[in-house]
Amino acid sequence: MNQSIGIVLVSHSAELASGLRDLLAQIGSDRVPVAVAGGTEDGGLGTSYDRIVAAIAEADRGAGVIVLPDLGSSVLTTLAVLEDHPRTDVLLVDAPFVEGAVAAAVTAAAGADLSAVAEAARQARGIMKVESFEPAAAPAAAADAAAEPEHPQGASAAVTLPATLHARPAGRLAQEAAKFASTIRIEYGGKSVNPTGVLAVMSLGATIGGTVTVHAEGQDADSAVKTLAAILAEVE
């Protein structure tokens, strides 16, 4: 795909929408067109029909646009715009405003199509910010304990983080991981995630001095591991 999916951020607050747009640029998704429709024409809090129409036109590069509203009237006003200007390539997406925008922007930057970008934003709803602690599971039966665990064939590398794994390198990891055909997992602190999801990577909570292990299985496993390990080694 030559053109990226566009993203429109609809918020009651111009500052909130603009700040989120700045965040998306900082995590390495600055090539994704992001337009904002925040506040009213007179600078107050609220949503503007005309600003949403203009933002959709600004974000449109021919590949489609997703619209992410924050709450309340931003949803209703966006629905009114899409009813008056129906297009199959402009989607109103029900997703967390910040997390959905981050997931959508990184997915769009990797060259995904409209449906994939929209789905990435929706899936952000299921990413936990804080782990809940549950009682440890009962010990496995002796036969299960004796069985050797399955380890996929492929490549792996362990990297000691020189800094905390924050949004920008997580975005780079997600973009690069999406380019490989191999199945990739990143492990930290007993958790394992698919690195093609930026929010999943961030949910690891990997901090400076911690060890992150990259596993890959498939035809380009070696290249995948080397590429992602290099990104982790350069976190700053």
Determine the pLDDT at residue 143. Answer: 45
Non-local CB neighbours of 63 within 8 Å, separated by 6+ positions: 1, 3, 4, 5, 6, 89, 113, 114
Model-level pTM? 0.74
Compute the distance between CA of residue 91 and CA of residue 69 in angstroms, rounded to an integer.
11
Looking at domain 6-126, does it have CATH number 3.30.565.10? no
Q: Region 186-205: what's the mean pLDDT?
A: 88
What residues are annotated to the active site? 166
**Tokens 């929209």, located at residue:** 118
Q: What is the CATH number of domain 153-233?
A: 3.30.1340.10
pLDDT tens sequence across 109-118: 878 899 989 9
pLDDT tens sequence across 53-84: 999 999 999 999 999 999 889 999 999 999 99
Residue ranges of the chain that CATH labels 3.30.1340.10: 153-233
Residue ranges of the chain that CATH labels 3.40.50.510: 6-126
> How many CA atoms are closer than 13 Å to the CA of 140, on its beta-carbon side?
8
pLDDT tens sequence across 126-179: 777 666 545 545 555 444 544 444 555 689 999 999 999 887 788 888 888 888
